[in-house]
Amino acid sequence: MKKIILTLCLVLFVSSAYAGSCPMLAKNIDEKIKKAQELKDQGMAAHNNGDHAKSEKLLKEALALFKS
Query: In this predicted structure, what is the pLDDT of residue 5?
Result: 72
pTM for the predicted model, two decimal places? 0.66
> What Å distances lie between residue 20 and 2, 10, 33, 62, CA to CA?
28, 16, 22, 28
What whole-number distance in Å separates Cα of residue 54 and Cα of residue 45? 10
Query: In this predicted structure, what is the pLDDT of residue 64?
Result: 94
Radius of gyration of the chain (CA): 22
Q: 14-59 pLDDT, tens per residue?
A: 655 566 788 888 999 999 999 999 999 999 999 999 999 999 999 9
DSSP 1: -
Specify the 3-state DSSP secondary structure of 66: coil
